[in-house]
Amino acid sequence: MIKRILEESDLKAPDFRKLIEQLTFLEVDYLLMLANLSDSHFISVVLEEDTAEGRIPIGYGSFPFYPTLEGITGVLEDMVIHRDYRDRELGGMVYDELERILTDRGSKDKACQAWLTSNPNRKVARGLYQGRGYDLFPNEKLFVKKLGGRLITLRPTDNVGFRELCDTSEEALGNLFQVTGKLLELDQFGSLVFNPRFPHLTIMDGKKMVGFGSVPCYYSLVKGVSAVMDNVFLDDNYFSRELMRELYLQLEIKARLRGARQALAVMEEREAERIGLADLGYKLSPTGVFRKQFYHP
């Protein structure tokens, strides 16, 4: 078996496209995939075997990742093994190569965590993830794993307008700590807020920060560009469903401008009910993630 990074020439190969047809019945936008192939935040691996007819692809997997307040986060989205080669534990071989590449990076780019969703009926796949150190969320559909990068810890949280954060002084970020309950390093966050991959908004009452939200995006072959409604917070003294709704809608605008086809929210059902996520058009998917589809003509 040969494991290697997916290359541009693979996208035009009939055998590779036949393999992808086993992953999804949807039409794949290979031009969009080509645009993301050279992206340093998109890792993809192909597994090949030598046959009498030549070398053929028998497996594929991708691991896009994006910045969050907690650190670099990876998402296992697309993985497929050719139907004639299943039940040989080849999925684990593809996954191990993806994780090796994801974690074998410089200290600033090293992923701190990864997550994925898996239907409870997919017992073989779920066994693979749990055997590789993933912890199962209470909803029994979401898996999370710490990968060794820096993971920021949590602490208890102690005339409004929306804007991007441009002041990264200690005084300004002190308000962010109050709102989000995150312990952040100034140099780390200072570079993060100016990262184009980290679209975000703060809610200000005068000079006081009372809310924060970010919406990083990532690419997958099947779903295209997805936006993650990440680190969305409101000061308890300012909390209302109306203000939370406006924050989500403003973040969704940023996601749409980046070509996102859907928005994802990862949270417990009771938290989703508290903020009124259903009223915003999010539905709980079979994989345990709240999802909102965007209209694309």
Q: pLDDT in tens for each of the 297 residues of the chain?
A: 788 889 999 999 999 999 999 998 888 888 888 888 877 788 899 999 998 888 999 999 998 988 887 778 889 888 999 999 988 889 899 999 998 888 876 555 667 888 988 878 888 888 888 899 999 887 778 888 888 765 544 333 334 555 555 555 555 555 665 655 555 555 555 566 667 777 888 887 777 778 888 899 999 988 889 999 988 888 888 889 999 999 999 999 999 988 899 999 988 888 899 999 999 999 998 888 999 999 654
Place of tokens 């999802």: 291
What are the structural domains, with CATH classification, of the chain? 2-146 (3.40.630.30), 160-293 (3.40.630.30)
- The C-alpha atoms of residue 250 and residue 252 are separated, in whole angstroms, by 5
Burial class (CB in 10 A: 0-12, 13-18, 19+), 176: buried
- The reported pTM is 0.77
List Cβ neighbours of 39 (8 Å cut-off, separation of 6 or more): 219
Rounded to an integer, what distance in angstroms lies between the CA atom of residue 74 and that of residue 95?
A: 12
Which among 227, 165, 226 is positioned nearest to 190, based on CA atoms?
165
The per-residue DSSP string of 46-82 comes to EEEEEETTEEEEEEEEEEEEEEETTEEEEE---EEE-
Which burial class, exposed, middle or buried, applies to 246 when counting CB atoms under 10 A from its CB (0-12, 13-18, 19+)? middle
| Identity of residue 279 | D
Are 27 and 39 in contact, with CB atoms under 8 Å apart? no
Q: Distance between CA atoms of 9 and 269, rounded to whole angstroms?
A: 43
